[in-house]
Structure 1
Amino acid sequence: MLLSVGELIDSTLFENAILKTGEQTLTDKPVEWISVMESPVENFVRENEFVLSTGIGCHENTEELLSFIKDVYDSGASALAIATGRYIFEIPEEVIQFAADRNFIIIELPWEIRFADIVHEVMTKLNELKQNETTRFKEMQQQLIQKVLEGKTLEHITHYIEQELSQSVLICNEKKEPIAGSANPNDVFALWDQMRTSINESHYPKHSEIQQLDSGSVQLIHLNIQSDVGHKGDFFILSDSDKRLNEHDLMIAEQAVVAAALWFSRNSAVIEAESRMQNEFLLGLAKGEMMSEEHVASHAEFFRYNLDLPYLCIIGFPENLNDSTGHESSLNESGRTRLDRMSIYIKEGLLYAGENVQRQVLFAHEHDKVIVFLEATNKITADAVNQFLDLVERRFTHLLPGVLFSWGIGMDRDGIRNFASCFQKAKAALEMGRSQRGIGKRTYFDETQINRLLLNLAGNEEVRDITISTLSPLVEYDEKREMDLIKTFVAYNNNNGNVSQTARELNLHRQSLLYRLRKIESLTNLSLVDPDDLFLLNFSIRVWSTGAIKKG
Structure 2
Amino acid sequence: MGVAVEEILKLPVLEQAKVQTKLFERQVEWISVIETPVENFVRNNEFVLSTGVGCANDVLALEEYVEDVIRSEASVLAFATGRHIYKIPDRIVQVAEENNLVVMEIPWEIRFGDILQEVLRLISEEKRQEQQRTEEIRQELINCVLNGKGLQEITAIIYNNTGIPAAISDHNKQIRANQHFNRYLIDVLNGNDSTEEATLLETDLDSDHPLCHFIETYGIGDERCYQLTILSNYKKQGYLLFQPGQEGELTWVNLHIIEHALTACALYFVKENAIEMTEIRLKDNFLLELAKRDMDMDRTLLSKAQLLGYDLEKPYICLVGHIRFVQPEDNLPSSTTHSVASSSMNSRNYYIQKEVTHAGDALNRRTMTTFDEGEVIVYLESDRPDYEETANQFLDLIERRLHELLKGITISWGISCHKGGYKVFHKSYEEAGTALKIGQQHEEGERTFFSDTRMNRLLMALSHEEEIGVIVRDTLEKLIEYDQKRQTELIHTFMVYNKYNSNVSQAARALNLHRQSLLHRLRNIEHLTGLSLLDADDLFLLELSVRLWLLKKVEK
- Answer yes or no: same fold by TM over 0.5: yes
**Structure 1 CA distance, aligned partners of 2:370 and 2:471?**
31
Task: Tell me what 1:80 maps to.
Answer: 77
Which stretch has the larger CA shift, 85-94 or 148-157? Answer: 85-94
Compute the displacement of 1:179 (Å).
0.2
Task: Tell me what 2:551 maps to.
Answer: 542
**Structure 1 CA distance, aligned partners of 2:327 and 2:278?**
26
Task: Tell me what 1:387 maps to.
Answer: 393
1:281 to 286, 291, 309: 286
1:315–1:59 distance in 2 versus 1, CA, 3 Å: farther
Q: Does 1:205 align with 2:211?
A: no
Q: Does 1:416 align with 2:409?
A: no
**Structure 2 CA distance, aligned partners of 1:485 and 1:301?**
58
Task: Tell me what 1:330 maps to.
Answer: none
Task: Tell me what 1:129 maps to.
Answer: 126
1:8-51 per-position Cα deviation (integer Å, ceiling 9, x unaligned): 221122222221223152xxx33233344456666665443333
1:378–1:94 distance in 2 versus 1, CA, 3 Å: farther
Compute the displacement of 1:71 (Å).
4.9
1:457-487 per-position Cα deviation (integer Å, ceiling 9, x unaligned): 57x57599879999xx9xxx9xxxxx99999
Task: Tell me what 2:148 maps to.
Answer: 151
1:239–1:215 distance in 2 versus 1, CA, 3 Å: farther
**Structure 2 CA distance, aligned partners of 1:213 and 1:488?**
64
**Structure 1 CA distance, aligned partners of 2:153 and 2:417?**
47
Contact 2:460–2:548 at 8 Å: present in 1 too?
A: no
Compute the displacement of 1:54 (Å).
4.5
Secondary structure, aligned partner of 2:445: coil
Compute the displacement of 1:219 (Å).
4.7
Compute the displacement of 1:124 (Å).
2.4
Amino acid at match of 2:495: N
**Structure 2 CA distance, aligned partners of 1:528 and 1:95?**
117
In the TM superposition, what are the counterparts of 1:225-304 in structure 2 within 5 Å?
A: 225-241=230-246, 244-290=249-295, 293-304=298-309
Compute the displacement of 1:178 (Å).
0.6
Contact 1:490–1:538 at 8 Å: present in 2 too?
A: no
Task: Tell me what 2:11 maps to.
Answer: 11
Unpaired runs of 5+ in structure 2? 192-196, 333-339, 499-503, 532-537
Identity percentage over the alignment? 31
Task: Tell me what 1:92 maps to.
Answer: 89
**Structure 1 CA distance, aligned partners of 2:162 and 2:435?**
61
In the TM superposition, what are the counterparts of 1:169-208 in structure 2 within 5 Å?
A: 169-182=166-179, 183-190=181-188, 196-206=199-209, 207=211, 208=213
1:408-455 per-position Cα deviation (integer Å, ceiling 9, x unaligned): 22222321112222222222232332332x223333232343234345
Task: Tell me what 1:367 maps to.
Answer: 373
1:142–1:434 distance in 2 versus 1, CA, 3 Å: same
1:310–1:66 distance in 2 versus 1, CA, 3 Å: farther
**Structure 2 CA distance, aligned partners of 1:268 and 1:484?**
53
**Structure 1 CA distance, aligned partners of 2:487 and 2:441?**
9
Which stretch has the larger CA shift, 416-425 or 251-260? Answer: 416-425
1:253–1:429 distance in 2 versus 1, CA, 3 Å: same
Contact 1:467–1:541 at 8 Å: present in 2 too?
A: no
Amino acid at match of 2:365: R
2:102 to 80, 105, 123: 105
Compute the displacement of 1:247 (Å).
1.2
1:119–1:420 distance in 2 versus 1, CA, 3 Å: same
**Structure 2 CA distance, aligned partners of 1:452 and 1:152?**
56
**Structure 2 CA distance, aligned partners of 1:213 and 1:22?**
38
Contact 1:527–1:534 at 8 Å: present in 2 too?
A: no
Larger Rg: 2
1:336–1:398 distance in 2 versus 1, CA, 3 Å: closer
Contact 2:294–2:427 at 8 Å: present in 1 too?
A: no
**Structure 1 CA distance, aligned partners of 2:467 and 2:341?**
32
1:191–1:318 distance in 2 versus 1, CA, 3 Å: closer
Compute the displacement of 1:128 (Å).
2.5
Which stretch has the larger CA shift, 183-192 or 404-413? Answer: 183-192
Compute the displacement of 1:268 (Å).
0.1
Secondary structure, aligned partner of 1:277: helix
Amino acid at match of 1:12: P
Task: Tell me what 2:335 maps to.
Answer: none
Q: Does 1:30 align with 2:24?
A: no
1:48-103 per-position Cα deviation (integer Å, ceiling 9, x unaligned): 33334455565555455445544544554333334445554433322312332444
TM-score normalised by length of structure 2: 0.78
Secondary structure, aligned partner of 2:202: coil
1:123-160 per-position Cα deviation (integer Å, ceiling 9, x unaligned): 32233333333333333333322222222222223223
**Structure 2 CA distance, aligned partners of 1:487 and 1:309?**
50
Contact 1:309–1:377 at 8 Å: present in 2 too?
A: no
